[in-house]
Structure 1
Amino acid sequence: MSKQCTEQDISEPIALQNTTNQLKKIRSALRALRDAVILLNDSDGLEWWNQAAEDLLLLQAADKGRCIFDFIGASEFRQYYQAPTLADEGVHIKSWRAPERYLKCELTPFADEKLLIIYDVTRLHHLEEMRRDFVANVSHELRTPLTVMMGYLENFSDQPDMPPHWKRGFELMTQQTARMNRIVNDLLLLSRIEIEETHELHYIDMTKLLTHIYDDAQAYNQEYGHSIHLQIDTYDGLYGSEMYLTSALSNLVINAIKYTPKGGDITVSWTKTAEGCRFAVEDNGIGIAPQHIARLTERFYRIDKGRSRATGGTGLGLAIVKHVLYQHEANLQIESVEGGGSTFSAVFPPNYVRSAAIS
């Protein structure tokens, strides 16, 4: 019995010593990181930080326990911090010490506390700016020659004495230049949305806007023969950019028309929810396999390349939708069953919803 007690007495300090050594190694590793690491308690106070965080936030030993918002006051960070559903994406903010630097903040649950990691993403930000500028400049340069080509092709195609085999060739060239023109226009729109960090916001009468979108959809629907229903359950409007929202929401409706077999049913709805207001487009079309859903908003991503080209798609529509909704702090939600239809929803937060009575 005494021998058993002695072994236990010896093993417990050894286990504790091993744990302590492991913690020291972990802290040493975190201190050596070039990225800022901060451990926050359940009251949002600073519990521990590494050298990079100390340099970035000018922290001192006396700052232990102070609220993180005393050191990072950006409204984007506060909003992100209070919205755990966004925790996987992080938030980008400008450095408060050097405005030319860009930072990415990511929160990770850590037992009853939180781990905040701050990355310097200035180089990535500049590369992204270069990419956007390149796409915008190339698109502008393509626009003029495309306009000239389309004009001449249209004139040549109207010649009554053109040989049949030439006529078919001109028809194909006309179709492809028109498709290229749509791609250029979508690229320019996407670049403009990305570059404009802020845009002028106004009250939008959603009943009026959705009625307009519905009328355009019915005109586009003539060759498809779908039954399109408009369901408006609230007169609440939005505070936003009407031009961009019209483009994004129309895109969702047109996609439903294009990717639903002829004679299908499509419902466009505007409802009030606990999360704010929800715009939804529901169809009974071909549906989407689960492995594709996460990538649908990527530029030029196509599930079926042949079908997309046949319907005249540019592969940029949902990327435009994603960026427009991001500017309005809205979420794009996609529910789909392969062969059983899809529902694309845009959920707008309460701070962008406006009652018609107080508009």
Structure 2
Amino acid sequence: MDSTQLALLALLVGVIVGGSVSAVTVAALRARDRARNEQVTDVPEGVREVLHGMDDAAVVIDSSFTVLAASAAATPFGLIEGTALPTEELRALSRRVRGSEAAVTAPSATETMRLRRGALPAEPRLVVVRATRISARLTLLVLRDITERERVEEMRRDFVANTSHELKTPVGAVSLLAEAIESAADDPPQVRIFATRLQAEASRLALLTSRIMNLSRLQAADELTLRDVSIDEVVASALDAHAIQADSAGVEVVRGGSRGHYVQGDAQVLSEAVGNLIANAIAYSPRGSSVGVGVKSVDGAIEIAVTDRGIGIAEGDQDRVFERFYRADPARARRTGGSGLGLSIVKHAVQRHGGEVRLWSRPGRGSTFTIRLPESAAPAVEPAPKRGRKKKRPAPAKPAVAPAPEPAANGEPA
């Protein structure tokens, strides 16, 4: 082998050795950087500021499931800096994303994750948790509370189902009565009976439809047109609207309390709310009893209390009587024509005016529903327009009158 070949061989060996050394060096550097990254648990710059500005609960955790940074909304869920994740569900989610660069959403479209929020007694909340890998040792968890959204959706489904059920009953009755009238066309007395029942079912259907529309209007986002409303006028309108019902039921309605109070609101909506309470009190009061409607001012609020001496409401039903279509006594409500929407309308009407409804009741002793509304000052009375001062006309000259003749001695004029 000549010298040229030896030189080429030596050069080749040098290249191979140099390449191997370089490869080993690069691999070692990469391994060092990887190990360094895996050991680093410092929260990246700016992450804490982002977390503090978030409305949702969010935390950054390390591989030991310790919370390194947290938003303010995360504290009620027990996600506090320096503590471990409180549930195994969150830990399992963190494990799934630690070895992947992709984000994972939990729960899936058909699963839910319930976490407890607040101190004892802790409230279970439905949350959607999104986990994102920040580094080999750091994971970001974002929790979005969807409890209220699910509750509203459930209420919407229940409302549609209950409305369909309630409307189906009078509609079916109207259809059957119409067929009965047609079949009894040759029997006038029977036709009159069916016609009376048909009219009653039609009135019930109209009332139910009207109340559903009122409730939908109160639950809409549209603002009410507020003005100075006299409570005396509201109560008087409600009493007049239910005077016939009270006379038919043999119940006396007594108005008491102070007068001259005003609130900011919609007079028609408030009259319907008070009227619904009066109608319920009359319907559930025995014949010969009385219903009291009292008004007073307490700590800047106007209280309108409607009290009856009826059957009362059991304690277990008092929290639910304001729900739509809920009836504490379904059989009696059917007999009295109740739709289960009256108290729900009252609740939403009062809430739209910034107030609240309170209930006191004892079975066998009666019930008292109290509407509390923010009191407003009485509207200023506009002064009467000033009339221009009329110029005084000079008095017309009196015609000269001849002096009466002096009587003569015999009493006759001379």
Give the TM bin, normalised by the shorter chain: 0.5 to 0.7
Letter in 2 for 1:259: Y
Alignment match, 1:9: none
The answer to whether the 8 Å contact 1:245/1:324 transfers is yes
Structure 1: how far apart are the matches of 2:56 and 2:159?
29
Equivalent in 331, 341, 349 of residue 366 of structure 2: 341
Equivalent in 145, 165, 175 of residue 119 of structure 1: 145
The answer to whether the 8 Å contact 2:228/2:379 transfers is no
The 5 Å alignment of 1:38-57 reads: 50-51=70-71, 53=73
The answer to whether the 8 Å contact 1:275/1:347 transfers is no
Alignment match, 1:252: 277
Structure 2: how far apart are the matches of 1:333 and 1:122?
23
Structure 2: how far apart are the matches of 1:330 and 1:107?
28
Letter in 2 for 1:50: A
Letter in 2 for 1:36: A
Contiguous gaps of at least 5 residues in structure 1: 1-30, 39-47, 55-60, 62-105, 111-116
Q: Cα gap change, 1:289/1:164 in structure 2, threshold over 3 Å: closer, same or farther?
A: same
Equivalent in 281, 284, 287 of residue 309 of structure 2: 284
1:128: Cα distance to partner? Answer: 6.6
The answer to whether the 8 Å contact 1:332/1:347 transfers is yes
The 5 Å alignment of 1:22-61 reads: 36=57, 50-51=70-71, 53=73
Structure 1: how far apart are the matches of 2:148 and 2:240?
45
Letter in 2 for 1:346: I
Alignment match, 2:12: none
Alignment match, 1:322: 347
Decide which structure has greater helix share.
1
Equivalent in 200, 211, 222 of residue 225 of structure 2: 200
**TM-score normalised by length of structure 1:** 0.58
1:325: Cα distance to partner? Answer: 1.0
Aligned residues: 250
Q: CA RMSD in A?
A: 4.1
Structure 1: how far apart are the matches of 2:224 and 2:151?
20
The answer to whether the 8 Å contact 2:234/2:270 transfers is no
Alignment match, 1:189: 214
Alignment match, 1:295: 320
Q: Cα gap change, 1:239/1:135 in structure 2, threshold over 3 Å: closer, same or farther?
A: farther
Alignment match, 2:204: 179
The 5 Å alignment of 1:19-98 reads: 36=57, 50-51=70-71, 53=73
Letter in 1 for 2:295: W
The answer to whether the 8 Å contact 1:269/1:281 transfers is yes
> Per-residue displacement from partner, 1:283-314 (whole Å, max 9, x unpaired)?
11111111111110111111221211111111
Contiguous gaps of at least 5 residues in structure 2: 1-50, 60-67, 75-80, 82-115, 121-142, 382-414
Letter in 1 for 2:211: D
Structure 1: how far apart are the matches of 2:148 and 2:366?
42
Q: Cα gap change, 1:167/1:137 in structure 2, threshold over 3 Å: closer, same or farther?
A: closer
Q: Cα gap change, 1:246/1:135 in structure 2, threshold over 3 Å: closer, same or farther?
A: farther
Letter in 2 for 1:315: G
Alignment match, 1:356: 378
Moved more, 130-139 or 223-232: 130-139
Q: Identify the structure with bigger relative contact order (alpha carbons < 8 Å, sequence gap 6+).
A: 1
Q: Cα gap change, 1:233/1:138 in structure 2, threshold over 3 Å: closer, same or farther?
A: same
Q: Cα gap change, 1:171/1:200 in structure 2, threshold over 3 Å: closer, same or farther?
A: same
2:242 alignment partner, SS class = helix
Structure 2: how far apart are the matches of 1:132 and 1:191?
14
Structure 2: how far apart are the matches of 1:257 and 1:295?
20
